[in-house]
């Protein structure tokens, strides 16, 4: 039985061929999407669909017998349920006026509400982890910014102190030089006074000479 024959088999129960085709497409699409996402779809009494990972291995080409390396891959797997197995093996008889597989009770489809809840929990956990990571990054960025500002402030303060010290040192040297220059000038000004005193001494000698001359003149008389 192919897909077209399957649609024909159920069209009477669903009220038309188009409705049956849409139902088959929707069911198969839901199963495929769930299995591709790594979820397990289980239908009570019918079976389960799941994704299986196969590791890399070596195989043989059936035509040439050559050994070939097969890469790691994932494949879908279907496992028949107990009710399905019993019907196929003959342990149970197919019902004439009822469905072969009884309707599954609510919540028995692992690809339904339970799966959605699990997906919601996973999404919430991912969002919480992303928020924590973002908060940690922001905190680290703030710490880095604060450290940079502190370092810049320390460097600026040190530079200002160094500049002030350099300015103060020439000022001190200038003041000391001015004091030394003033002292030298004062000393130089005082020195000529002594010289003038020394020059006054010959005047007394002249007076003495005049006195001697007067004495000699008086003697001559």
Note whether 7 and 102 are same-domain residues: yes
What does the pLDDT look like over 163-176, one tens digit per residue?
665 665 555 555 55
Note whether 104 and 14 are same-domain residues: yes
How are beta strands 67-70 and 73-80 bridged, if at all? unpaired
DSSP alpha helix (H) spans, the chain: 3-14, 17-36, 82-89, 113-220
Note whether 94 and 22 are same-domain residues: yes
Confidence tier at 192 by pLDDT (50, 70, 90):
very low
Note whether 171 and 92 are same-domain residues: no
Quick check: is 145 in a domain? yes
**Residue 54 Cα distances to 31, 36, 41, 142, 164, angstroms:** 20, 15, 19, 47, 76
Quick check: is 37 in a domain? yes
Distance CA 36, CA 135 (A): 33
- Residue pair 181/189 in contact (Cβ under 8 Å)? The answer is no
User: Which residues touch 82 (CB under 8 Å, ≥6 apart)?
Assistant: 45
Number of structural domains found in the chain: 2
**Residue 192 Cα distances to 179, 197, 201, angstroms:** 21, 9, 15
Q: Name the β-bridge partners of 80.
A: 47
Q: Write down the pTM of the prediction.
A: 0.44
Q: What is the CATH number of the domain that holds 44?
A: 4.10.520.10
Quick check: is 64 in a domain? no
What does the pLDDT look like over 73-114, one tens digit per residue?
999 999 999 989 999 998 888 888 777 876 655 555 554 444
Note whether 23 and 126 are same-domain residues: no
Quick check: is 209 in a domain? yes
Domain of 179, in residue numbers = 117-213
């Amino acid at each position: 039985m192919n897909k077209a024959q399957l649609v024909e088999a159920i069209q009477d129960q669903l009220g038309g061929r188009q409705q049956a085709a849409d139902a088959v497409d929707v069911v198969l699409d839901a199963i495929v999407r769930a299995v591709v996402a790594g979820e397990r779809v289980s239908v009570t009494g019918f079976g389960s669909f799941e994704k299986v990972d196969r590791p890399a291995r070596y195989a043989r080409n059936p035509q040439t017998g050559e050994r070939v390396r097969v890469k790691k891959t994932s494949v879908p797997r279907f496992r028949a349920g107990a009710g399905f197995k019993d019907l196929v093996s003959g342990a149970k008889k197919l019902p004439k006026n009822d469905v072969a597989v009884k309707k599954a009770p609510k919540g028995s489809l692992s690809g339904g509400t339970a799966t959605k809840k699990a997906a919601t929990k996973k999404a919430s956990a991912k969002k919480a982890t992303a928020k924590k990571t973002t908060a940690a990054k922001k905190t680290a960025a703030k710490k880095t910014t604060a450290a940079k500002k502190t370092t810049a402030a320390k460097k600026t303060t040190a530079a200002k102190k160094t500049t002030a010290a350099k300015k103060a040192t020439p000022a001190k040297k200038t003041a000391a030089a001015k004091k030394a220059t003033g002292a030298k000038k004062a000393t130089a000004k005082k020195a000529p006074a002594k010289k003038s005193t020394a020059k006054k001494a010959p005047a007394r000698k002249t007076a003495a000479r005049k006195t001697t001359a007067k004495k000699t003149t008086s003697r001559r008389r």
